[in-house]
Structure 1
Amino acid sequence: MTVKADIRREDIELLAPAGDWDCMRAAVANGADAIFFGVEKFNARARANNFKMAELPEIMKFLHRYGVKGFLTFNILVFEDELRDARELVDACIEAGVDAVIVQDLGLVRMIREMSPDFPIHGSTQMTITSPEAVEFTKPFNLERVVLGRENNLKQIKKIGDQAKLPMEVFVHGALCVSYSGQCLTSEVWGGRSANRGECAQACRLPYDLMVDGVQKPMGDIAYLLSPKDLAAIDIMPELIEAGVTSFKIEGRLKSPEYVANVVSKYRRAIDKYFAGDDSRPTTEEVRELQQSFSRGFTHGFLEGTNNKKLVDGTFPKSRGVYLGRVEKILRDSVVCTIEAPLKRGDGLVFDAGDPTKKEEGGRVYDLRLSGVKLEGEAAQGGRIEIVMGRNDVDLTRLHEGDRVWKTSDPALDKRLRATFETDKPYRTFPVAVTVEGREGSPLRTIWTDVSRGTTVIVESEMPLERAEKRPLGREVLEEQLGRLGGTLFELEQLTVSLEGEVIVPKSELNRIRRTAAMELELLREQPPKYTKLAGGGTLGAAAAGFRDKAPVESPKLTALCRTLEQVKAAIGTDVSMIYADFEFIKQFPEAIAVCREAGKPIALATPRIHMPGENGYHRNILNLKPDAVLVRNTGALYYYLKERAEKPGDWHPQLIGDFSLNVSNHKTVELFREVGLDRITPSYDLNIQQMVDMLRLADTSNLEIVIHQHMPMFHTEHCVYCTFLSEGTDYTNCGRPCEEHRASLQDRIGMNHPVRVDEGCRNTVYNAIEQSGAEYLSEFKELGVPSYRVEFLEENADKVLEVIGLYRAALDGRIGGSEVWRKLKATNQLGVTRGQLIR
């Protein structure tokens, strides 16, 4: 294999997770180039141990000592009352020399740039950056790097890199989210735990029944319809490097230090092999060891393109480890199994009968009995053996012939992995070049250069050199004494000796010089980078002071989002000020526009939630239809429309309305989107009533629109339920389009049916079965100057559309109370209506 000439080893980064100090040490010891970690709050792994803000200086000194970068995860939405704490944390990061913050919230990006023009920011995968246009949108904010969506494939990654020319970070190993990051609202809807706040409840890992046209589809042992396998791209690292990826990210801040040590070491070797010209792929044993640390089964995810059949197994939702085989026979105190992987006494097993919702039998291997297989020591490498389990661990009467057997733990592997970081020795050493100068009567002068950093210290002897009577100071003695760097970060690589005459200095003085030089070089490695800090930057309230005293809205507007032509035809007969058409296929838009034009009703067309490379034709078609407005759902699409507006200033252009999926959750984000050119802005669904009010008090509300009634769009995913379970195909090219003939929904454990809809890009949205209403807060919002309110429909017929619009119109006019709205809707809908994201 030939390494491409334009790819440099020093430009490639292996980025490892650290949920605590042991994980951080494990990552450094096993070859990570950079670490990402979180502190107490403001990160997307609220359940991890995390670090304390006060530890930032110590963390960065430790990492920089070993030449490793440290990135702080700030990858959640920030609410209004948290901005001051967020500013304090950013300030602490700047002072401690954190190498970058990984940010989701564009309002936070704005605040950081007000504080420092050069403090590095990485755009988190929660920004849903999946196209060159989305990268271009970030460039005015001087982001150093973007983390692409896990749904981008190799061709798209290369296209984004070639067009946008910004360093790209890509996930290569670990758990996959079935939903686009930053676009999952399931935990928020069902449990008040927002994925955009680091509190994901993993609803994708739950069992669901597939309902097709209202009838349950028999699925056998497949129940986990939304639970993806785990990403493992170790065997396609060369392709990723040549696609232009510069940072390879390992997921796992909730994982063990042994997991970190294992995965980091394997990917370190894969990267190093590429640059050594070695094109061999990982061995079977390496893959097994990766599976042992954590695996729901491995997949390339979407990196090689969409293959819905390979993404989800469907039979279990949790880590299984290494597959061994199936139970062939059950004896009095053992089971007989033909195993496919090594097994030892002390390893942990689980017996899988095909229903992980029930208690599974498992425990430690007590003994292995020969059954036509040669045992090597205590290990069986393969073949037919008897596995003896501890009687207190496994009830053999609950096992069945045919049960799958998985090796869930390997204590010997864990011990080997722990040894890499549970050591008193330095995790890494670095070469030093030393020059020695001097003459009789002057101090010995030593110049020490840390080769990898280029930093230099000079250490002189505390006494002058004397004439040597017997054994003058020479290269051999100097090499021996100055090279005794064991226990330090350094090793002597080069020694230059320039002594005049035959001179001598005590060996104790050479030892002191060596210790002093090593200590000073280490201190230089620990020095934090210096960033520009702007006086008073990032202050809160001043910019928004003019918006605090707001005039109440006397005549609020009501808009309606429709997903069928029947709904559009019903809504145009009401006093809604605008119709939003959010249809599954763009071919359905012209008829909706014609209906609205005939009725004299303004219409907005909705973009898809996601924007991939090569999808600008969709937006060109929208412009050709000349709607009054476009409901923009991602920054890639927004960049496209803003670019059109800028390049053709004399032409007609639609209004641009930013939807909830832009994740506006504080007044800084409102300001940012207003300044880039949005005409109207929809706040995030993550805000509860107090957080919404806090934002409205500081933001300019004159162009805001709040969604007050909808079926919450929970999962938004590239994984197509229709293709996977209703066709023989693998993607949209060969699935036969069952979505055009059938309606699917996912039935949860309590019997709720959650509709699954597709969009033009064949992505699925799973909607909550229960409508949500914020009607009782309308008077509060009107007092705060919000002029426009939206109701959204999903499957409602014309009569229901008229009823819902009528109730909200009456509430906005003050003819009925807001609580009466959702109570009446509850009375006509047996599933009831929650107040969803607007619960206090």
Structure 2
Amino acid sequence: VKKGESVYKIIDIELIEKAKTSYQKEQIKNPITMHFSGQINNYATLKIYYRDTIIEIKSNQVIEAATSAPLSKEHIKNQLAKLGNTIFVAEKINIEFPENAFLSLKEINEMRRQAIDKLIVLLTSTKKHNINIVENNRILTNKTIKGIYVRVHSLIQLNALIDQDIKGYYFPLSKHLDEAIQLAKKHQKKVIPFINFLNNEKQLMNFKNSNSYQEIDEILVGDYGALKIFNDKKCILDATFNLYNSYALEHFKDYNAILSLEMSKKQINNLTNISQNITMIAYGKTINMHIKHCLISEHYFKRKKIGCNKCKEGNYKLVDRKGEKFEIQTDELCNNLIYNNHCIYIKNLDTLKVDYILLSFLNEDAKTVKFIFEEFKHILSDENRQIPAFIKHTSGYYND
């Protein structure tokens, strides 16, 4: 922080502790209305109203004429309001009871207990019934892995894999895109441009009006703005859409999608009613942070300097307090992408119910790119492979 700059406080520990104390003690209660009525020589009736549900309980004892101390409405109300640790609170209590009558408090307590128990059972059974109806109408995904997509960031990586059995090649929106498209055409392959999460409308519209745009029929988009701009092409939804469950995927059923990195294998295999192709990232460094600022030009020039090309002069990393190093990459707009220092590497792919896996390369050389691709070909052939020792790996949420 430079001298004289404004600093904004975004966390107040006292406020956080106060909030934590409030919700730890808080008990959420459902409001109910209670109606208690009866006449001498008849049984008392307790009705409970909760939303569109009505519970009615009759007393086991008849109401008697009071010989000494009659039962007051206030006493009845106090007993009915004693809902203790239940999930209900008596918002309103109506009493219709003779002034010279008597009924034991024990009997009133028992009526209240029976009515609340009956209400809970009814609500629980109703919820279970509704859930079963929903589940019976949903069909579990029955998919098997049909092939591999790759995401590359350079022509060197693309050249290294262009002659392999690969479903499609995701290539960044960059000055080398035309060359990548022509190289793929030469080998009867398909290049699919991908749009970074950080972009601007001018950049996207320039691409839409370019000759390159006429050469493609698919595009991988990472946000809603890009999806809207490129709606005349076949759009694929990137992992930054964070599509995490069946409902989200069903909403975007017209688009093939790369699943959220936060999904476990169990969650993926429990997806239902999935009609589109879904892909899971099986290899690659993940982006921890997208930054519109440039840390590299800030270091050299004390500001973001577009096109300074300092990022091309070396490899840059952020180092945390534990000495862990996080790579800094820049895109065509000089935004910074901070990558995790551990690489996603999933080798337990048997029984995984997706259509494709994605190998997402960053700055690996040609030799490494080829090696990783061959490893995953073996994994998909059900061969037991060890994760290469030179890869600092993680399985992320996959095995949770």
Q: Secondary structure, in 3 states, of the residue corresponding to 1:824?
A: coil
When residues 51 and 750 of structure 1 are mapped into structure 2, their CA distance, relative to the original with a 3 A threshold, is closer
Query: Quick one: which of 185, 189, 199 aligns to 1:601?
Result: 189
CA distance in 1, matches of 2:281, 2:394: 14
State the partner residue of 1:563. 153
- Corresponding position of 1:813: 381
Amino acid at match of 2:151: L
2:215 matched residue in structure 1: 626
Deviation for aligned residue 1:639: 1.4
Inter-CA distance 640–739: structure 2 relative to 1 (3 Å threshold): same
Q: Which residue of 1 aligns with 2:304?
A: 731
In the alignment, is residue 669 of structure 1 matched against residue 248 of structure 2? Answer: yes
Partners in 1 of 2:137 and 2:396 — Cα distance? 31
Indicate how the Cα distance of structure 1 residues 606 and 56 shifts in structure 2: closer, same or farther if over 3 A, else same.
farther
The 3 A distance-change label for structure 1 pair 788 and 736 is: same
Distance 1:52 1:615 in 2: 51
Amino acid at match of 2:193: L
Q: Say whether the 8 Å CA contact 1:667–1:699 is kept in structure 2.
A: yes
Identify the residue that residue 795 of structure 1 maps to in structure 2: 363
Whole-angstrom CA distance in 2 between matches of 1:700 and 1:670: 7
CA distance in 1, matches of 2:322, 2:293: 24
One-letter amino acid of the structure 2 residue matched with residue 780 of structure 1: T
Structure 2 CA distance for partners of 1:540 and 1:567, relative to 1, 3 Å:
farther
Identity of aligned residues (%): 19
After TM superposition, list the pairs within 5 Å mapping 1:133-532 onto structure 2: none
> Structure 1 residues 567, 546: CA separation in 2 closer, same or farther (over 3 Å shift)?
farther
Q: What is the deviation of 1:768? A: 1.7
Query: Residue type of the partner of 2:284?
Result: Q
Q: Structure 2, unaligned stretches of length 5 or more?
A: 1-11, 32-50, 53-126
Contact 2:208 2:230 in 1 (8 A): no
Please give the alpha-carbon distance, in whole angstroms, between the structure 2 residues aligned to 1:56 and 1:569.
63
Aligned mates of 1:540, 1:641 — CA distance in 2: 38
Q: CA deviation at 1:635?
A: 0.9
In the alignment, the residues of structure 2 paired with residue 592 and residue 632 of structure 1 have an alpha-carbon distance, to the nearest angstrom, of: 18
CA distance in 1, matches of 2:329, 2:393: 21
Q: Distance in 1 between matches of 2:135 and 2:202?
A: 39
2:282 pairs with 1:708: yes
Deviation, structure 1 residue 839: 3.1
Aligned match of 1:824 in 355, 380, 387?
Answer: 387
Q: TM-score, normalised by structure 2?
A: 0.64
1:682 aligns with 2:258: yes
- Counterpart for residue 834 of structure 1: 394
Measured after TM superposition, the shift of residue 779 of structure 1 is: 1.4
- Which whole-Å deviations, capped at 9, do the CAs of 1:447-467 have from their partners, x for residues lacking one? xxxxxxxxxxxxxxxxxxxxx
Aligned to 2:335: 763
SS at match of 2:394: coil
C-alpha spacing 1:20/1:796, structure 2 compared with 1 (3 Å): closer
Match of 2:139 in 1: 548
Q: 1 CA distance for matches of 2:138 and 2:332?
A: 39
Structure 1's 750 and 615: CA in aligned 2 closer, same or farther, altered over 3 A? Answer: same
Summarize deviations over 1:264-297 as a string: whole Å, max 9, x none: xxxxxxxxxxxxxxxxxxxxxxxxxxxxxxxxxx
- SS in structure 1 of the partner of residue 364 of structure 2: coil
CA contact (8 A) 2:193 2:220 kept: yes
Residue equivalent to 1:638: 227
CA–CA distance in 1 between the matches of 2:275 and 2:350? 14
Report how far residue 562 of structure 1 moved: 0.5
TM norm structure 1: 0.32
Given that 1:602 and 1:628 are in contact with CA atoms closer than 8 Å, whether structure 2 keeps it comes out as: no
> Which residue is equivalent to 2:86?
none
Structure-2 residue corresponding to 1:616: 204
Given residue 293 of structure 2, which amino acid in structure 1 is its aligned partner? H
Deviation at 1:689, TM superposition (A): 3.0
Take 1:562 and 1:595, find their aligned partners in 2: how far apart are those partners? 14
Instruction: Indicate yes or no: 2:183 matched with 1:581.
Output: no
State the aligned residue count: 294
Query: Given that residues 746 and 754 in structure 1 are in contact (C-alpha distance below 8 angstroms), is that contact kept between their aligned partners in structure 2?
Result: yes
Give structure 1 stretches of 5+ with no counterpart: 1-16, 24-46, 59-93, 96-535, 646-652
Residues of 1 paired with 2:214 and 2:135: CA distance?
37
Q: For 1:766, what is the secondary structure of its paired residue?
A: strand
Q: Quick one: structure 1 residues 738 and 806, their matched pair in 2 at CA, closer, same or farther if it must change by over 3 Å?
A: same
String of CA shifts for 1:324-376, please: whole Å, max 9, x gaps.
Answer: xxxxxxxxxxxxxxxxxxxxxxxxxxxxxxxxxxxxxxxxxxxxxxxxxxxxx
**Residues 656 and 541 of structure 1, relative CA distance in 2, 3 Å threshold:** farther
Asked whether 1:779 is paired with 2:350, we answer: yes
Whole-angstrom CA distance in 2 between matches of 1:779 and 1:611: 37
Per-residue deviation, 1:739: 2.2
The 3 A distance-change label for structure 1 pair 541 and 803 is farther
How far apart are 1:770 and its partner, in Å?
Answer: 2.4
Aligned-pair CA distance for 1:641: 1.6
In structure 2, the CA distance between the partners of 1:684 and 1:619, relative to structure 1 (3 Å rule), is farther
2-structure distance, mates of 1:577, 1:749:
41
AA of the residue aligned to 2:296: Y
Structure 2 CA distance for aligned equivalents of residues 621 and 542 of structure 1: 49
Q: Partners in 1 of 2:196 and 2:345 — Cα distance?
A: 24
Seen in structure 2, the aligned counterparts of structure 1 residues 717 and 805 have a Cα distance that, compared at 3 Å, is same
Q: Distance in 2 between matches of 1:665 and 1:693?
A: 12
SS of 1:638's equivalent?
helix
**Counterpart-to-counterpart distance in 2, 1:663 and 1:805:** 25
Output the amino acid matched with 1:627.
I
- Offset at residue 609 of structure 1 (A): 0.3
Decide whether aligned partners of structure 1 residues 685 and 52 sit closer, same or farther in structure 2, where only a CA change above 3 A counts: farther
Deviation per CA, 1:460-481: give whole Å up to 9, x if none.
Answer: xxxxxxxxxxxxxxxxxxxxxx
- 2:318/2:326 contact within 8 Å kept: yes
Q: Does the 8 Å CA contact 1:544/1:699 hold for their aligned counterparts?
A: no
Per the alignment, in what secondary structure is the counterpart of residue 220 of structure 2? Answer: strand
CA apart distance, 1:543: 6.9
Hey, what's the Cα distance between the residues in 2 that align with 1:636 and 1:759?
18
Structure 2 CA distance for partners of 1:833 and 1:621, relative to 1, 3 Å: farther
Once the 2 structures are TM-superposed, how far is the Cα of residue 19 of structure 1 from its aligned partner? Answer: 6.4
What is the CA distance between 1:757 and its match in structure 2?
A: 0.8
Measured at CA, do residues 791 and 540 of structure 1 come closer, stay the same or move farther in structure 2, by a change above 3 Å? Answer: farther
Whether the aligned pair in 1 keeps the contact of 2:262 and 2:397 (CA below 8 Å) is yes
Question: For the Cα contact (< 8 Å) 2:162–2:184, is it kept in 1?
Answer: yes
Distance of 1:57 and 1:19 partners within structure 2: 28
Secondary structure at the aligned position of 1:587 is classed as: coil
